[in-house]
């Protein structure tokens, strides 16, 4: 069984995202979150929404490779998922530090939105564009707070 793991840590929480596959038809996504019983003053909880988005993007790239043999899907999905994982870690430590996540979400919204408009197919481009637009709005809202 092959495994791709992303992990992020801070003093109060740990998130481990594991993407495992045995055969092209069997892909599993595991998300483990464990939190300490008390958070130190001034520490924010882990940004689970951003980590879940990062895992979804990475899993989409792996699924694109598994189903269609698309190396570009694998490379860009895992790369964008990893960059979003770093961005989620940054927003966990500082909710105003959204620049990396904002830029990556904007890039994915534009690229996948264009692919959705060109192809007219909701899966996968329309779904990724929609999720990315929602995350773009979320990060934009965080900048105004």
* 97 assigned to some structural domain: yes
Q: What is the DSSP string of 56-92?
A: HHHHHHHHHHHHH--HHHHHHHHHHHHHHHHHHHHHH
**pTM of the predicted structure, to 2 decimals:** 0.70
As a whole number of angstroms, the distance between CA 118 and CA 110 comes to: 12
Q: How many domains does the chain have?
A: 1
Over residues 65-117, the pLDDT tens digits come to 999 999 999 999 999 999 999 999 999 999 999 999 999 999 999 999 999 99
Q: Which domain holds residue 16?
A: 2-31+46-144
Q: Check the CA dihedral 115-119-125-130 and report its sign.
A: positive
Residues 128 and 112: beta-carbon distance below 8 Å? yes
Quick check: is 115 in a domain? yes
In a domain, 38, yes or no: no
């Amino acid at each position: 069984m092959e495994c791709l793991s992303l992990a992020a840590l801070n003093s109060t929480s740990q998130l481990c995202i594991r993407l495992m596959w045995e055969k092209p038809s069997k892909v599993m996504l595991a998300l483990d979150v464990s939190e300490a019983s008390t958070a130190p003053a001034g520490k924010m909880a882990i940004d689970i929404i951003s980590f879940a988005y990062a895992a979804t993007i990475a899993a989409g790239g792996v699924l694109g490779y598994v189903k269609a043999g698309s190396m570009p899907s694998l490379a860009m999905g895992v790369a964008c998922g990893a960059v979003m994982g770093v961005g989620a870690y940054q927003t966990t430590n500082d909710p105003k530090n959204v620049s990396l996540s904002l830029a990556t979400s904007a890039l994915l919204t534009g690229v996948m939105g264009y692919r959705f408009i060109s192809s007219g197919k909701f899966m996968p481009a329309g779904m990724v564009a929609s999720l990315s637009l929602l995350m773009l709005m979320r990060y934009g809202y965080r900048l105004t707070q």
